[in-house]
Chains A and B, each alone.
Chain A
Amino acid sequence: MQSVQNTTTFRTAVLSVVKHSYVPLGVASHPRFELVVVADDDSQPEWVHERNALFAEKMGIPYVRDVQRALADYDVQVAVVSSEAERHCDLSVRAAKAGLHIVQDKPMSTRLSECDRLVEVIQANQVKFLLWNRNHLPALIEARQAIQDGAIGQPYAIHLDFYFSKDAGPPKGSRKPGDAPINWLERQREAHADGSDGGVGVQAMGELQIEGIYPLAYLHMLSGWEVERVYTQTATQFHQANVDNEVDDLASVTLEMKGGFLGTLAIGRIGAASHPDIGEIKVHVLGTRGGLVISEARPEVSVYYRGQPAREFRNIRVANDNDYQLMDNFARAIDGNGETDLDAPTGRTITAVVEAAIESGRTGKPVDVV
């Protein structure tokens, strides 16, 4: 007998969509979520309104330059937040206070105090929160299954490689004498066209801060281990924008977990020339009965052809159901079936690991995660 499936549709407000549109589009990939309005604060700069309005037009829904009014007028139950990173938590807090469940883009915030504030409000208002992640990519699902099936025994070490091979503006060393340093926000705005604006915002962020959520979410998903202490090296090796704004574009982290489990993270935005596709993203797990090596990209199909643009990916990921699965998990959580795959306390914990890692990179000493 088939189980009765809840088909309630959640009316969803998009609270700012200045970064990637993939998060609201990912939300809309699930039939239970309907985007009904885009909203942002009227006080935002014009480029923000332009992007919001463009997305609203594309989706055929209204754009309201007043968040509170939109939440009140459009009978929404869910908010999806994809603003600049420094505004993430504030928009999510306002949504939570209005009783909305929230899907939020990464990183959770540029400040741990903001994460704490959001965790508190989420709990107080009994709403669900999902921090966007890649945990439902096929390779990760298979890795988790293999570990759960005991394929390698009890894991004791995990190593994560997360290299994005995108460029991020002019290469390091390209600034001429007398040239002004690259303005972070302006650079990110320019990068919107090719999707390399993951760090959009006024506050400059390194790769640890922008992308660290993804591999650390893998760690959480695959092991459930709690990171207690980190030791980090950071560098700016590739991009002038990172040099000018003193944020890393390459980092290596030793992860020390509760229970004596160990691991490492290698992360960077290493330049488009460094990989034929999006980048080398791998997970290595050692267990008491063997080891597991996973490529996040697989399964994929290779396509080569005459006249192929140099920067076009040669390998195309297939069978990627991440968006739908994330939202299905979110819908089930709203229905009352447990927590989301990456809830607010976990997102806060990951942010704390990233903060500790950045501090360790700055001081050259191991740092406890708080």
Chain B
Amino acid sequence: MIRFAVVGSNPSAPLSLFDPGRLLRATCTAVADTDLAQARQTASALGTHVTVASWDQLVQQHAENFDAVLIQAPLGSRAALVRQAATAGKHVLVESPLASTTDLADQAIEACKAAAVRLMVGHEMRFLPSNLAVAQALKSGQLGEPALLRIHRWLPPDTTAALRRDPDSNASRAAAIGHLADEIDLANWLFQGFPTRVYAKARSSSAIHSNLPSSAEINGHDYFQLHVAYPHDGMALIDRSTALPAGADYFSLSLIGTTGAAYADDHNNMHLAYRGGPPTAIRGVQGDGHWLTQVQEFIDAIHEARDPVVTGKDGRAAVRVAEAAIESMITGSPVLLG
């Protein structure tokens, strides 16, 4: 049985969105959050009554009561928490992105390596059932080699986790990395490699008719598009908006392979409701099971003494490509990688 603690307890934060009753060979033993009321709420949902107000208290008072930690702290403190958890000998599942810079990511990875603990980065898009199906088709050889990946991800502002928990860095590079890392990781994973080149643009959805976007900074931009090159002529187009009106988000992934293609598109999974006037689309949802799958993978990797499917190296790669994308947005030129 793996005993885990949760650091950062926003009940709608990614690593809290799983059903603890369905988790195998693991149990939650403590929750740490500066907001104790929120910590108690999360602890209750996860089946424990132990709550503390900080990481320091967690380690000082309950170090013997947990083997692993799920970190969903603000991006600015995330890498430091990973290092501290590793130093305390705890396995780590950390919300994505791993860090706000590759340097910080390297430090976190090195700390985990030195302490011989498992490090998994919560790039949850890999665990979405539709994405798993695409990956399986690719892995089985049905699609041949990946050739062109297209991702559209459109969200309303209030569901953007990175911004929600980093209100002070809304306009910062770190926030932009938070915007981009998950889709980049998804692309890296499907191509099973690291990009060779990235070209990226950004703009503010509200700044219509202004001269954008290759400005010297990326503050206030809520729309990003990436054009990523992979070895063997692979290519990916990713667009991400956090400017949809409040309500549902939209996700679409298509992967053109050399011998086949897969289309995982919300557009193809809509129900209809007739209530007068034009019909309303109701999305066929994929549920929250991918959160459980992700945490279970972390638990299983610890049990089986193996690397999890999303490693610190993967998390670092996503941060590195996001950094390059930001550089491209600023310079207006493609950035070579690798």
Contact A254 B267 (CB under 8 A): no
Q: How many angstroms from the CA of A252 to the CA of B146 in the assembled complex? A: 14
List, in ascending order, chain B residues with CB within 8 A of A237's CB. 145, 147, 233, 258
Most buried by A among B197, B227, B332: B227
Q: How many angstroms from the CA of A250 to the CA of B223 in the assembled complex? A: 26
Contact A264 B239 (CB under 8 A): yes
Within 8 Å of chain B (Cβ to Cβ): is A342?
A: no
B148 contact from A252, A254, A290, Cβ within 8 A:
A252
Q: How far is the CB of B280 from chain A (nearest CB, A)?
A: 13
Contact string against B for A residues 245-278, beta-carbon threshold 8 Å, 1 for contact and 0 otherwise: 0000010101010011010101010110111000
Contact A250 B147 (CB under 8 A): yes
Q: Smallest CB-CB separation from B224: which chain A residue?
A: A262
Q: How many angstroms from the CA of A270 to the CA of B332 in the assembled complex? A: 30
How many interface residues does chain A have, given as a range?
35 or more
Within 8 Å of chain B (Cβ to Cβ): is A231?
A: yes
Q: How many angstroms from the CA of A154 to the CA of B197 in the assembled complex? A: 32
Within 8 Å of chain B (Cβ to Cβ): is A49?
A: no
List, in ascending order, chain A residues with CB within 8 A of B145's CB. 237
Contact A262 B267 (CB under 8 A): no
Within 8 A of B (CB), among A173-232: 231
Q: How far is the CB of B134 from chain A (nearest CB, A)?
A: 13
Within 8 Å of chain B (Cβ to Cβ): is A98?
A: no
Q: How far is the CB of A6 from chain B (nearest CB, A)?
A: 35
Q: Smallest CB-CB separation from B146: which chain A residue?
A: A237
Contact B147 A275 (CB under 8 A): no
Contact string against A for B residues 114-138, beta-carbon threshold 8 Å, 1 for contact and 0 otherwise: 0000000000000000000000000
Within 8 Å of chain A (Cβ to Cβ): is B203?
A: yes
List, in ascending order, chain A residues with CB within 8 A of B256's CB. 163, 250, 266, 268, 270, 274
List, in ascending order, chain B residues with CB within 8 A of A231's CB. 199, 227, 334
Within 8 Å of chain B (Cβ to Cβ): is A293?
A: yes
Number of interface residues of B (CB under 8 A): 47
CB contact under 8 A between A233 and B227, given known A260-B211, A266-B148:
yes
Q: How many angstroms from the CA of A364 to the CA of B259 in the assembled complex? A: 26
Within 8 Å of chain A (Cβ to Cβ): is B152?
A: yes
B201 contact from A235, A236, A254, A365, Cβ within 8 A:
A254
Within 8 Å of chain A (Cβ to Cβ): is B241?
A: yes
Contact A154 B154 (CB under 8 A): no
Within 8 Å of chain A (Cβ to Cβ): is B157?
A: no
List, in ascending order, chain A residues with CB within 8 A of B201's CB. 254, 256, 262
Contact string against B for A residues 286-323, beta-carbon threshold 8 Å, 1 for contact and 0 otherwise: 10111101010000000000000000000000000000
Within 8 Å of chain B (Cβ to Cβ): is A324?
A: no
Within 8 Å of chain B (Cβ to Cβ): is A366?
A: yes
Q: How many angstroms from the CA of A291 to the CA of B267 in the assembled complex? A: 12
List, in ascending order, chain A residues with CB within 8 A of B245's CB. 289-290
Q: How many angstroms from the CA of A268 to the CA of B334 in the assembled complex? A: 23
Q: How far is the CB of A365 from chain B (nearest CB, A)?
A: 7
The interface residues of chain A, by DSSP majority, are classed as strand
B261 contact from A259, A270, A293, Cβ within 8 A:
A270
Q: How many angstroms from the CA of A262 to the CA of B235 in the assembled complex? A: 18
Contact A233 B205 (CB under 8 A): no
Contact B233 A233 (CB under 8 A): yes
Q: How many angstroms from the CA of A192 to the CA of B327 in the assembled complex? A: 47
B243 contact from A252, A266, A270, A286, Cβ within 8 A:
A286
Contact string against A for B residues 132-166, beta-carbon threshold 8 Å, 1 for contact and 0 otherwise: 00000000000001011010101000000000000
Within 8 Å of chain B (Cβ to Cβ): is A37?
A: no
Within 8 Å of chain A (Cβ to Cβ): is B29?
A: no
Q: How far is the CB of B160 from chain A (nearest CB, A)?
A: 15
Within 8 Å of chain B (Cβ to Cβ): is A238?
A: yes
Q: How far is the CB of B195 from chain A (nearest CB, A)?
A: 11
A233 contact from B211, B212, B223, B229, Cβ within 8 A:
B229
Q: How many angstroms from the CA of A270 to the CA of B145 in the assembled complex? A: 12
Within 8 Å of chain B (Cβ to Cβ): is A91?
A: no
B223 contact from A236, A262, A282, Cβ within 8 A:
A262
List, in ascending order, chain A residues with CB within 8 A of B257's CB. 274
List, in ascending order, chain B residues with CB within 8 A of A268's CB. 147-148, 256
List, in ascending order, chain A residues with CB within 8 A of B241's CB. 157, 286, 291
Q: Smallest CB-CB separation from A288: which chain B residue?
A: B205
List, in ascending order, chain B residues with CB within 8 A of A105's CB. none
A259 contact from B154, B209, B332, Cβ within 8 A:
B209
Other 16 A-B pairs with CB < 8 A, given A260-B203, A286-B239: A157-B203, A157-B239, A159-B150, A233-B227, A233-B229, A233-B233, A260-B209, A262-B201, A264-B227, A264-B237, A266-B237, A284-B252, A286-B154, A288-B205, A291-B244, A366-B334
Q: List the 6 closest pairs (A to B, CB-CB), nearest first.
A: A260-B212, A235-B233, A274-B261, A233-B235, A237-B147, A252-B235
Q: List 21 A-B contacts (CB under 8 A).
A: A157-B203, A157-B223, A157-B239, A157-B241, A172-B258, A233-B233, A250-B235, A252-B227, A256-B201, A260-B209, A262-B223, A264-B237, A270-B256, A270-B261, A271-B259, A284-B239, A286-B239, A289-B245, A291-B241, A364-B334, A366-B199
